[in-house]
Amino acid sequence: MKKLISSLLLIALLATPGQAFEFKRIIGLLSSSYSSRWPDPVTYGWDSRSSLNPFKEGRVSYFGGIGLEFSLRPKLELELDALYKETGSAFSLETMLFTSYKYEYRISEISIPLLVKYHFLKSPRPYVLAGFDYSFILSHRCQIFEAPEASQVYRETIEADLDLETRKSDLALILGLGFELQLNKRSIGFELRYEPGLLNLYKGWRPPDEPYPVVRSRQFLVVLSYSIK
């Protein structure tokens, strides 16, 4: 995997020798979730049903970072970003004793998306995009909240550190669309990106005689950017 990210960085640096690039400031909003339930850090129970929906049992957060955009052809561009994200998921559970639990998972990560963009028009420059997102996972924690029988108020009961049972990196496909408004040597961009994870994030213990849990990331991003040539 280190060879893969090194190759991607080398392509970005050598793709347009001698040509100008745009420096971008990036902020945005994302909804993230897991494709299936993460094994319970207390009981190790889990649900193998998988979903592609980033809003189902999702977690909403902000992200930000910087990017470089290189021109390959008049309508074709290559972009390399560096973003800080907090992703994760949320699950609810009701027991036979009518006690309810909430599980809130939070992953802190450094994300390195590499994108290819194809523009249709000169102004306002709508485009489609595709690429890959390689992420370095910094930490993974789970907060568990409990609401006793007949209570609507949740209280935190435990916070679990999941670093040892979580991959240190992730790889996701990127698909999206956007548009760009040119303002002299500056531009403002708006994008929608969907990023289904390709790797199993879980690497911990599994219950005996059970299939190994497969938990992938799912993200939907709303991206705003401000560029300077």
- Examine residue 229 and state whether it is found in any structural domain, yes or no: no
Q: Name the pTM for this structure.
A: 0.83
179: CATH: 2.40.160
The rounded distance, in Å, linking the Cα atoms of 195 and 225 is 18
| Section 54-82 average pLDDT | 90
- Examine residue 128 and state whether it is found in any structural domain, yes or no: yes
* Span 182-204, pLDDT tens digits: 887 788 999 999 999 999 999 98
- Examine residue 138 and state whether it is found in any structural domain, yes or no: yes
- Examine residue 71 and state whether it is found in any structural domain, yes or no: yes
* Span 123-172, pLDDT tens digits: 678 999 999 999 999 999 998 887 766 555 556 677 889 999 999 999 99
| Containing structural domain, residue 164 | 20-108+122-220
- Examine residue 55 and state whether it is found in any structural domain, yes or no: yes
Number of domains in the chain: 1
- Examine residue 46 and state whether it is found in any structural domain, yes or no: yes
